[in-house]
């Protein structure tokens, strides 16, 4: 498929475009003359090689002094091997209902605890 498009400009617009191109061409010629007249030598600088990075040996992790909140919940559950209710767990840890729910969910998901039929939380031992 072949499409022909023709655009017609009025004389004023055509003159404006021609003038703009003349100015651009003249600017380019002036820059070329300036470059020809200038010193074309470029001073060279010695490029120093980057210093190699010194790597430190991997630091050994220090044991955490603070116990994690989830770990606290797990320890309380492990102390009560026969099972503990969420309410008792909340009273013993001082955590909010939402925190207890989140930690219980995480511990069940990682298969560290289980819930008995009567709703008590018990630790899983392997």
E runs forming strands in the chain: 113-115, 121-123
State pLDDT tens for residues 9-61: 788 888 888 898 899 888 888 888 777 776 656 666 666 777 777 777 776 76
Torsion sign (Cα): 93, 96, 98, 99? negative
**What is the reported pLDDT for 126?**
44
List the beta bridge partners of residue 123. 113
Using an 8 Å Cβ cutoff, are 73 and 95 in contact? yes
What distance in Å separates the CA atoms of residue 98 and residue 15, rounded to the nearest whole number? 76
Which residues are CB-neighbours of 86 under 8 A, at least 6 positions away? Answer: 97, 100, 101, 104, 119, 121
Domains of the chain: 69-123 (1.10.10.10)
Choose the weakest-confidence range: 40-54, 80-94, 106-120: 40-54
Greater model confidence, 42 or 87: 87
Residue 92 CA, chain-centre distance (Å), reads: 38
pLDDT at residue 63 above 90? no
What distance in Å separates the CA atoms of residue 97 and residue 89, rounded to the nearest whole number? 10
Phi, psi of 93 (to 5 degrees): -95, -25
């Amino acid at each position: 498929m072949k499409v022909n498009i023709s655009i017609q400009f009025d004389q004023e617009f055509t003159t404006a475009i021609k003038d703009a191109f003349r100015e651009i061409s003249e600017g380019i010629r002036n820059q070329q003359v300036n470059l020809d007249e200038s010193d074309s030598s470029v001073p060279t600088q010695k490029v120093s090689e980057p210093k190699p990075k010194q790597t430190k040996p991997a630091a050994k992790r220090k044991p955490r002094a603070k116990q994690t909140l989830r770990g606290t919940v797990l320890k309380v559950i492990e102390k009560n091997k026969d099972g503990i209710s969420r309410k008792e767990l909340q009273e013993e840890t001082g955590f909010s209902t939402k925190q207890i729910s989140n930690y219980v969910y995480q511990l069940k998901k990682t298969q560290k605890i289980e819930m008995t039929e009567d709703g008590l939380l018990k630790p899983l031992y392997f």
